Amino acid sequence: MTEESTQTEAEALPNRAIPFSEAFREFIPTAWAPYPTELPSQLAAAGPAALRRRALAEAHPGERLVIPAGGFKVRANDTDYRFRPHSAFAWLTGLGTDREPDSVLVLEPTDTGHEATLYFKPRAPRTDPEFYADSRYGEMWVGTRESLAEMTALTGISCAPVSELDAALAKNVAATTVRLLAEADEVVSRRIGELRAEAGVDLTAAAEGDAAFLVALSEARLIKDDYELGQLRQACTDTAVGFEAVVADLPEAVRRGRGERWVEGVFGLHARHQANAIGYDTIAASGDHANTLHWIRNDGDVRPDDLLLMDAGVEVESLYTADITRTLPVSGTFSPAQRKVYEAVLAAQEAGIAAAKPGNRFSDVHKAAVAVIAEHLEAWGLLPVTAAESLDPERGGHHRRWMVHGTSHHLGLDVHDCAQARQENYRDAELRPGMVITVEPGLYFKATDLLVPEELRGIGVRIEDDIAITADGNEILSSALPREAEAVEAWMAAVRER
């Protein structure tokens, strides 16, 4: 067994596995084609990731920065969920898709800055029991893993086997400030806690430092670079393809029953085929289900006279995700009542998008959108007070009965990106070029709401687009999908005629 493999055959075997004979162990490593000698090309994300590591290191001089990818999470028994690395790890390494479980990026302080090392589990030789007996890492089970040289070529980062991580973490702990992304990996966090305790480090201060590091990593992602903006554009393009596929198959969703599941499945198929996955659980809410904001059960019928509220996003290989909502008339044509609500929400969204520009605050987008919502509710006679009174933050809020959520959130590697950022750098912050946010007002009239005219009950509408702040305004990244009622109807008709 090589030094790079830390698992014995006995450890690799599950409790009820059939043991391997000596004859098998001699036979299994023979007559395999050699591994390729040509190194892979560097990932497109590697260059931008290097610049991000440099900026992070400059903000933490003299400190050891530890950013784990995280490990597998058990779904049931010996079945794991599909692995996704922590977003901060992906942002700093350029690794996407399902790379790289149990790996850890360490930025070690030096006299001239920081030296980055990626500790990961490289593939074992075919003579190692891991090759055939390890269902988590073995090549027979999960495919061929990279060698140290191959991972270095992919990421541009010096790589070492994860078996050497403990020594790197234990080095000069008493004299070195360590910043850990603690939420990413419980095992790594526990080990660093042990090392700190052994070295007499103030554990309260260390925990406070780790918490501040989590915030710093979140806030560092508020401004997207050109690579990130390109990935988000691609995610929106791929998402538009998925929406179009759903529209084309709506008659089948109606015919089969439990059509919400059909809609979810069609979109998920295209997300997996075009890119990496869905960026979050798809909301496929037909009829009154649209008035449940996070409806992901998706077990209802899709009826011809319904509106279908579909909130979905494709996550591309680099893990950047779109987040788009369209509310579609299943029949292809809005009824007068549906159109009335739809156009009110669209007017609110237009106001929000207009406010999404540099110099305005993040909260201004919500204020602009919700002011339009309140005006329509007043005009329809639904508010018990005036729109102005409802918008009063101290004495109002009546409009929130029909739009309880906020209008915007940041978007990027996470669908709710930069969520650990401080209030002053998020909700109260000034919008700056490179920020990407959603604009998603809605109106939700539950079927059981007796304050609402009967013709509007059961109608739920949300329209959501992904907006990049530019130097002179904004770019609607999701503009491939129409928003105006007439344009939506024309698009749906054209899709169905193909």
- Looking from the CA of 66 toward its CB, the CA atoms found within 13 Å total 31
- Tell me how far CA of residue 274 lies from CA of 20, 242, 466, in angstroms: 40, 9, 19
Question: Given 52, 53, 366, 409, which residue is catalytic?
Answer: 409
Concerning whether 350 is annotated as a catalytic residue, the answer is no
Question: Given 11, 26, 58, 78, which residue is catalytic?
Answer: 78
Concerning whether 323 is annotated as a catalytic residue, the answer is yes
Question: Given 311, 375, 465, 489, which residue is catalytic?
Answer: 311
Concerning whether 409 is annotated as a catalytic residue, the answer is yes
Q: How far apart are CA 82 and CA 183, in angstroms?
A: 18
Q: For residue 282, which of 311, 240, 245, 250 has the smallest C-alpha distance?
A: 311
Query: What end-to-end distance do the CA atoms of the chain give, in Å?
Result: 60
Question: Given 462, 466, 483, 489, which residue is catalytic?
Answer: 462
Concerning whether 405 is annotated as a catalytic residue, the answer is yes
- Looking from the CA of 200 toward its CB, the CA atoms found within 13 Å total 2
Question: Given 134, 260, 323, 466, which residue is catalytic?
Answer: 323
Question: Given 294, 395, 400, 496, which residue is catalytic?
Answer: 294
Question: Given 82, 272, 416, 432, which residue is catalytic?
Answer: 416
Nearest-10 Cα torsion for 91, 97, 98, 101: -20
Question: Given 126, 303, 361, 405, which residue is catalytic?
Answer: 405
Determine phi and psi for 362, rounding to 5 degrees.
Answer: -55, -40
Concerning whether 392 is annotated as a catalytic residue, the answer is no
Contact 100, 115 (CB under 8 A): no
The packing angle between helices 336-355 and 362-379, to 10°, is 150
Concerning whether 38 is annotated as a catalytic residue, the answer is no
Question: Given 4, 440, 466, 489, which residue is catalytic?
Answer: 440
Concerning whether 114 is annotated as a catalytic residue, the answer is no
Q: How far apart are CA 274 and CA 270, in angstroms?
A: 6
Question: Given 288, 306, 378, 464, which residue is catalytic?
Answer: 464
Concerning whether 428 is annotated as a catalytic residue, the answer is no
Concerning whether 146 is annotated as a catalytic residue, the answer is no
Question: Given 4, 221, 444, 489, which residue is catalytic?
Answer: 444
Catalytic site positions: 78, 294, 311, 323, 405, 409, 416, 440, 444, 462, 464
